[in-house]
Chains A and B, each alone.
Chain A
Amino acid sequence: GDSVTQMEGPVTLSEEAFLTINCTYTATGYPSLFWYVQYPGEGLQLLLKATKADDKGSNKGFEATYRKETTSFHLEKGSVQVSDSAVYFCALFDMEYGNKLVFGAGTILRVKS
């Protein structure tokens, strides 16, 4: 079945550092890919999405490119802020797999000032 694998955390960075969170996927069809963010005590919010190969999703300074050849969707940000501290989830939606979101395990990001 479909699955998503994320790098384990927590990831601890200093403010203004460069961020990469790795995500790879396995899917039977041609999924859409997402990054969700969860701030402390809250539900998940959609951060960005990409619906086909080579698409780049971007939002709030975060970017991720849909790489079909490496089945990856790594999240990047050039300069993180303390307010970016949260849990980040990579996810896929595969129309051939029951129309459901499948999530990775999540990566905790801590940014120190």
Chain B
Amino acid sequence: DAGITQSPRHKVTETGTPVTLRCHQTENHRYMYWYRQDPGHGLRLIHYSYGVKDTDKGEVSDGYSVSRSKTEDFLLTLESATSSQTSVYFCAIRRQGSYYGYTFGSGTRLTVV
């Protein structure tokens, strides 16, 4: 177990408010990812990080920003939440040198009302 924790597990927020989701890992892996899961779409990549302060956009990055100031934490921020961002958000880590060594967190269910 890679020791990956997401917080919060559930959140309800109002449209227009900022929201930050946290992903924390305990094993010093370089690669971290944020996905969102929606019915009919599977998991879609929002942003990913390949090191401290090194991040890049995924396929659905609009409306989201990320930060990684230390190896163990990868933060996803919705600057101004919208109802279309209601989703389940998953963080994942990947072991360097392993293209299949992904470990996923338990997810954050976010509802924007």
Where the two chains meet, the residues of A that have a C-beta atom closer than 8 Å to any C-beta of B are 4, 6, 32, 34, 41-46, 49, 51, 89, 93, 95, 99-101, 103-106
Contacts and interface: CB of A to CB of B under 8 A. Distances in A.
A101 B100 CA distance: 9
Given A43-B104, A95-B99, A104-B42, 7 more contacts: A42-B107, A43-B90, A44-B92, A51-B100, A89-B42, A93-B99, A106-B42
A97 to B, nearest CB: 11
Given A44-B43, A89-B43, A103-B43, A32 B100 contact: yes
Contacts of B48: 100
Interface residues of B, number: 20
A100 B58 contact: yes
Interface of B: 31, 33, 35, 40-45, 48, 58, 90, 92, 99-100, 102, 104-107
B100 A44 contact: no
B43 A43 contact: no
A100 B33 contact: yes
B15 to A, nearest CB: 26
B100 A105 contact: no
Q: Find the residue from B90, B102, B106, B107 having the highest chain A CB count within 10 A.
A: B102
